[in-house]
Amino acid sequence: MLSDLSRERFRRFRAIKRAWLAFLVLSVAFVLSLFSEEIANDHPLLLSYHGHYYFPTFHFYPADTFGGPYKTEADYVALRNDPAFHAAGGWMNLPPIPHGPQHSYLDLSGNPPYPPSREHWLGTDGSGRDILTRLIYGFRICMLFSLALTAISTVVGIVIGAIQGYAGGTVDLTGQRVIEIWSALPSMYVVILFGAIYGQGFGILLLVLSLFQWIGLSYYVRGEFYKLREQPYVLASRALGASHARILFRQILPNAMTPVITILPFSLVAGISSLTALDFLGFGLPPPTPSWGELIDEGLQNLQAPWLAGSAVCALFITLMLATMIGEGIRDALDPKSLTKLR
């Protein structure tokens, strides 16, 4: 159950129309991206062949199931144009965007990257892959990565900042010196080093960036705990014999969540920006993973195809703008002095 104060803050946030609209748009877009395979895919949602029904989006079917010669996965793009398939009464229901993120359309006239057309609304990249499809899949990866990074860094930042602020003294001083030394390490070089040793991947990037992302939040949490640890209700809990863990996470933390909640959307922005930058530099997710940074890099290498970098930059700009608007709305909603600014 939400407290009266929490409900009032939520009401203030909803009153900020631009922030609430940005939250709805970004949330709906993220939820829809979780079903990317059903929205943009060259695999049919439903396929009928010789009176039997198949669901290629959810299940693997070898090519010989539909009259092909091999046991490898069927090429549904070729199958949809195969006269023998249609002669056998075959038909298929395709997703709204009938292109997969890895399929290369190299049979089109000319050389890729192909410009926007009725078939490929935003054109294709240098490998003939549909850009709109790769933007959708890339958005899902960006959001999942950034949300996971934000969750991990938030937990670590809260724990370390809480211990420092609550304990104070030698623990706080030692912790601050260690954090200052750790934050001085160049995170980009650490990413490159780990990538060279363990290879590029979602988990490696998440681990390495999590080692640094928590630092900024820990400062805010430390300050809040340092301020609240001498409040009367905390002193009363100590006098009643409450454990340190209970005082930390049941008494002080709920009252120190304002900076944590305020910084979350901006942590999301930082995560998306970091992944895109690493992909752009070639140290991010391994190819052929759909990536906005890869599209921007490819656009710079193909200046004659402005739809490459332009589409990725627009998608990145809109996403970061929406997240920033949400963050500003949360900041205003949690600030009592901003009541007169709400509109």
| Domain spans of the chain, in order of start | 4-34+133-341, 45-94
Q: Beta 52-54 vs 46-49: how paired, if at all?
A: antiparallel
Q: What is the share, in percent, of the chain residues with pLDDT greater than 90?
A: 62
Architecture per CATH, domain 4-34+133-341, reads as: Orthogonal Bundle (1.10)
Closest by CA to 247, choosing from 151, 163, 170, 152, is: 163
Q: Are 39 and 95 in contact (CB under 8 A)?
A: yes
Q: Are 253 and 158 in contact (CB under 8 A)?
A: yes
The phi-psi region of residue 270 (left if phi > 0; otherwise alpha if psi is between -120 and 50; otherwise beta) is: alpha
Q: Tell me which of 185 and 152 has the higher pLDDT.
A: 152
Mean pLDDT of the chain: 90
Tell me the mean pLDDT in the region 141-145. 96
Beta strand spans in 171-321 (E): none
Q: What residues are paired with 54 via a beta bridge?
A: 47
Distance in angstroms (rounded) separating the CA atoms of residues 9 and 333: 6
Residue 58 identity (one-letter amino acid):
F
Distance in angstroms (rounded) separating the CA atoms of residues 181 and 190: 14
Q: Tell me which of 1 and 318 has the higher pLDDT.
A: 318
Tokens 């940005």 locate to 22
250 band by pLDDT with thresholds 50, 70 and 90: confident
Tell me the mean pLDDT in the region 163-185. 91
The residues near 5 (Cβ < 8 Å, ≥ 6 apart) are none
Cα separation values, 30 from 16, 85, 169, 234, 316, Å: 21, 36, 44, 40, 14
